Structure 1
Amino acid sequence: MGQLVTATAYPADVAVVEGLRRGSDATFGALIDRHQGSMLRVAAVYVADRNAAEDVVQETWMAVIRGIDRFDGRSSIKTWIFRILTNRAKTMGRRASRVVPISSLNGSRDGPAVDPDHFFDTRHPYWPGHWCNPPSRWAEGPEDRVATKDAVGAVLRAIAALPSAQREVVTLRDVECWTAVEVCDALDLSETNQRVLLHRARSKVRRQLEDHYEDSCGR
């Protein structure tokens, strides 16, 4: 018999967990509809192609069914599912010799998120470390630009080029609209590490988007 789920922490999950333990097809189908797309995108951070990502997601759902009796409610059901997913995706990625370098986690060998030439020297008498060459203002508002198909493609290409840890965090935060707490719980990150990875990722994406529009305007 499965453990009781703590109703006070994540009350919305109680009915879901109970339905899964009863073998409810409706509950399982609703869970798939809610998370399948996000799971594929996160799995793709670690594995080489969509087929491999689909395999990871399939294995994750099977693990959810097999392990639901051991779910104890200390995290949300979504967090629990994505922890299973990322662990399996990392394992498959390692098997395919796509090991994530440790530098992508702590940024120790990563280049600066923004070109240092954009800032005054730290010894500047009035504005040490401040912008001397801020990001260029686009002719249209960023919202108008990003709304275009061309801009969306540029953003997705920029995200795809990020180190995997940064790509995972920015995908969950800015593509899937997760909260910082959810990302930290799902990826087992400290709040500080999550914030640093997100800042680096967003800075690089913005820089790539600026380069994209500068090239477009120059043509």
Structure 2
Amino acid sequence: DGFEGRSSLTTWIYSILVNKARTRGVRDARTVSFSELTTEEGNIPAVDPSRFDSAGMWSDPPRIWDSLNPERIVAGKQLCVHLAQIVDKLPPMQRAVITLQDIEDQDASVVCTLLQLTDANRRVLLHRARSKVRDELEAILGRSR
């Protein structure tokens, strides 16, 4: 596949550049840059920084559930309905990542392959999706932020 002299060296090099540009364009179309991810929601943090203390730990840790009882079981079923509605409202890529990884329990590498994402993009999308779901569920449950 080397230069055989049937065309000018300039034409051969130009053809190589065009093919490289096309290949790069196809590859870049499959990935999402971090700058594109931030334009979707601006520079708003996924989790409200006031929820953490100066050491980065939860200022109000998530509460442990008491033992199950019939009321809690019914509430759990209602919560599942709310959860499905919240996930349906997420942006498409966040919805796809959280559905595949958290609901369908797919491995991270499978999620990346199916959605043609880098692992870093998958983690960002998953973090944002989980943060939105958590915020919405806390609002439904009436917990303070």
Shorter-chain TM band? 0.5 to 0.7
Q: 1:145 to 1:213 in 2, by over 3 A?
A: farther
Equivalent residue pairs, number: 106
Identity over aligned pairs, percent: 42
Q: Say which structure, 1 or 2, has more relative contact order (CA 8 Å, 6+ apart).
A: 2
Q: TM-score, normalised by structure 2?
A: 0.59
TM-superposed deviation, 1:190: 0.4
RMSD: 3.1
Residue 49 of structure 2 aligns to which amino acid in structure 1?
P
User: Unmatched 5+ residue regions in structure 2?
Assistant: 1-32
* Pairing 1:1-219 to 2, within 5 Å after superposition: 106-110=37-41, 111-120=44-53, 124=54, 127=55, 129-135=56-62, 137=63, 139-140=65-66, 148-214=76-142
Match of 2:14 in 1: none
- What 5-or-longer segments of structure 1 have no aligned partner? 1-101
- Contact 2:101 2:111 (8 Å CA) reproduced: yes
User: C-alpha offsets along residues 20-67 of structure 1, whole Å, 9 cap, x if unaligned?
Assistant: xxxxxxxxxxxxxxxxxxxxxxxxxxxxxxxxxxxxxxxxxxxxxxxx
Classify the secondary structure of the residue corresponding to 1:185: helix
2:98–2:129 contact (8 Å) kept in structure 1: yes
Structure whose CA Rg is larger:
2
Over 3 Å counting, the alpha-carbon distance change for 1:130 and 1:138 in structure 2 is closer
TM-score (norm 1): 0.41
CA 1:133–1:190: 2 relative to 1, 3 Å: same
